[in-house]
Amino acid sequence: MSTVAYQPAVTPTQNELVELYESVGWSAYTSDPARLAAAVSASLAVVTARQDDKLVGLARLVGDGLTIVYLQDILVSPGHQRRGIGGELLQRLFAPYCDVRQKVLITDDEPAQRAFYEAMGFTETRDLKRPIRTFVKFG
């Protein structure tokens, strides 16, 4: 199997994005492909993973890059999961923002996701020593 190539700041095509997002079942994003492509293009930072020129992973940040960065999306196509691609994407994505105080994400309540994010240095808010609250509004 060929190696995976990581690329910062390269926005995939709309078709590549739709294929990747659909591969992980994120149909809320793929229902409007132009909006998905525009959102990824407008991100603060994007890192992609490709194998044999095929998009197999993507991670993106939004935020100001100075006081807060928000992990908006990280996804790896099912056939490429559990190979370290997600961890490598996160490491490369966050590296330029190591001095940013707040690194935030919201994710589904699945044990495997919690284990992954904890392995990447994140702490679930309910486990923090100093209590904080998180609020969201989906529209």
pLDDT at position 39, please? 96
Sheet holding 54-63, edge to edge: 4-8, 45-51, 54-63, 68-76, 102-105
Q: What is the DSSP string of 20-73?
A: HHHHTT-HHHHTSHHHHHHHHHTSSEEEEEEETTEEEEEEEEEE-SSSEEEEEE
pLDDT recorded at residue 104: 93
pLDDT of residue 124: 86
Task: Please give the model's pTM, rounded to 2 decimal places.
Answer: 0.89
Q: Is 25 exposed, middle or buried (0-12, 13-18, 19+ CB in 10 A)?
A: exposed
Pick the CATH number of 4-105 from 3.40.630.30, 3.40.630.10, 2.60.40.1080, 3.40.50.300: 3.40.630.30
What confidence score (pLDDT) does residue 9 get? 78
- For the chain, give every domain's residue range: 4-105
Widest distance between CA atoms in the chain = 46
Q: For residue 1, what pLDDT is reported? A: 61
Q: What is the mean pLDDT, run by run of 10 residues, along the chain of 139 residues?
A: 85 96 94 96 96 96 96 95 94 96 88 87 86 82
